[in-house]
């Protein structure tokens, strides 16, 4: 199992410079990855300081040499997929192949999309997500590519350079269990980030999700299962190491330590990251 960090792209005093410093600390402390949220608006009535995730990942890549960097998650339906293709390939080369792209519909739809007059319906977002994934994968290859979909149309064009990672930059698909559609979508890509509404992902959920995904996988290639949580001592006295080990035994390949509660204190973030994953 690999161990990463999971942090929002907003918080008091949490700019791109601070995030690059945290990424360097994470690498020094033995973490395997650092993943940022990709929101554009959180609450219209209560504005918060926020950074652009993809701009912030650039200095994070330059401040590190080993750890994976990525998003949890990028709402692909609110992006121009060809613009995201350029951004991800640029970062893939800059980081020497350490980028992982997490994607999803984008929630809450009324905030992420409705604020700007875009269609926030689940159906439209799902259609755009599926088309956007095909476009990303096509443009990443560095070969002539064209596309004619319901929402996007691309005349034959070639994006160079191709993605450094092959056969593509890894794609993790996020979704809320037990809704099946996101997990069916994930089977075509490289990993899954399961969430649950108003609840934590249980070990039993890992087993259920993998039982659903495995028969649908068409390729015998590596597939990541990403669990987001907070390690530490549980109420029943079982320590974090045993807690995380149970998820790994069930089939999880990544544990992302949730730093969200500490997002408004740079000092707390530094201290927590410096503890490293060795006690997990």
* Residue-wise pLDDT tens digits, 14-50: 999 999 999 999 999 999 999 999 999 988 888 889 9
Task: List the domain boundaries for the chain.
Answer: 2-274
Name the token pair of 251.
């089939």
- Answer whether 136's CB lies under 8 Å from 84's CB: yes
Q: In the predicted model, is pLDDT for residue 69 greater than 50?
A: yes
Tell me, what's the pLDDT at 234? 44
* Residue-wise pLDDT tens digits, 134-172: 999 999 999 999 999 999 999 999 999 999 999 999 999
Distance CA 78, CA 60 (A): 24
| Mean pLDDT value across residues 55-81 | 97
* Residue-wise pLDDT tens digits, 259-272: 998 888 999 999 99
Q: At what angle do helices 16-28 and 266-274 cross, to 10 degrees?
A: 20
Matching CATH number, 2-274, of 3.40.50.300, 3.20.20.30, 3.30.540.10, 3.30.360.10: 3.20.20.30
Q: How many CB atoms lie within 10 A of CB 183?
A: 21
Name the token pair of 4.
């990463």
The backbone torsions φ and ψ at residue 39, rounded to the nearest 5 degrees and listed phi first, read -90, 160
Tell me, what's the pLDDT at 238? 58
Name the token pair of 197.
């509404």
- Rounded to 10 degrees, the C-alpha dihedral 210/255/80/181 comes to 20
Distance CA 6, CA 234 (A): 20
CA atoms within 13 A on the CB side of 203: 9
* Residue-wise pLDDT tens digits, 209-257: 999 999 999 888 999 999 999 886 444 545 678 889 999 999 999 999 9
* Residue-wise pLDDT tens digits, 167-180: 999 999 999 999 99
Q: In the predicted model, is pLDDT for residue 277 greater than 60?
A: yes
CA atoms within 13 A on the CB side of 191: 24
Q: In the predicted model, is pLDDT for residue 79 greater than 70?
A: yes
* Residue-wise pLDDT tens digits, 86-130: 999 999 999 999 999 999 999 888 989 899 999 999 999 999 999
Give me the helices (H) in 159-259, please. 181-186, 203-213, 240-250
Tell me, what's the pLDDT at 262? 85
Helix (H) or strand (E) run with residue 226 in it: strand 224-229
Closest CA to 120 of 130, 134, 106, 135: 106
Residue 279 pLDDT level (bands cut at 50, 70, 90):
low
Q: Is the pTM of this model over 0.85?
A: yes
């Amino acid at each position: 199992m690999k161990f990463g960090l999971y942090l929002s792209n907003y918080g008091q005093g949490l700019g791109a410079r601070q995030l690059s410093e945290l990424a360097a600390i994470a690498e020094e402390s033995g973490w395997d990855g650092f993943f940022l949220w990709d929101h554009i608006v959180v609450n219209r009535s209560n504005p918060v300081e926020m950074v652009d995730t993809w701009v912030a990942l650039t200095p994070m890549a330059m401040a590190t040499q080993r750890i994976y960097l990525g998003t949890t998650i990028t709402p692909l339906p609110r992006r121009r997929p060809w613009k995201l293709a350029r951004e991800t390939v640029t970062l893939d080369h800059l980081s020497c192949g350490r980028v992982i792209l997490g994607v999803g519909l984008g929630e809450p739809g009324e905030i992420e999309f409705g604020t700007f007059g875009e269609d926030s319906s689940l159906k439209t977002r799902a259609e755009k997500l599926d088309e956007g994934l095909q476009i990303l994968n096509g443009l990443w290859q560095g070969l002539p590519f064209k596309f004619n979909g319901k929402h996007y149309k691309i005349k034959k064009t070639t994006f160079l350079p191709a993605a450094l990672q092959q056969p593509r930059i890894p794609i993790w698909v996020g979704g809320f269990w037990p809704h099946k559609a996101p997990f069916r979508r994930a089977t075509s890509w490289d990993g899954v980030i399961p969430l649950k509404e108003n609840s934590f992902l249980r070990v039993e959920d890992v087993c259920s999700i993998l039982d659903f995904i495995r028969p649908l996988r068409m390729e015998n290639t590596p597939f990541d299962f990403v669990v987001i949580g907070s390690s530490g001592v549980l109420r029943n006295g079982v320590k974090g190491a045993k807690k995380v080990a149970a998820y790994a035994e069930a089939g999880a390949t990544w544990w992302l330590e949730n730093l969200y509660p500490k997002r408004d204190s740079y000092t707390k973030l530094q201290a927590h990251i410096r503890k490293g994953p060795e006690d997990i």
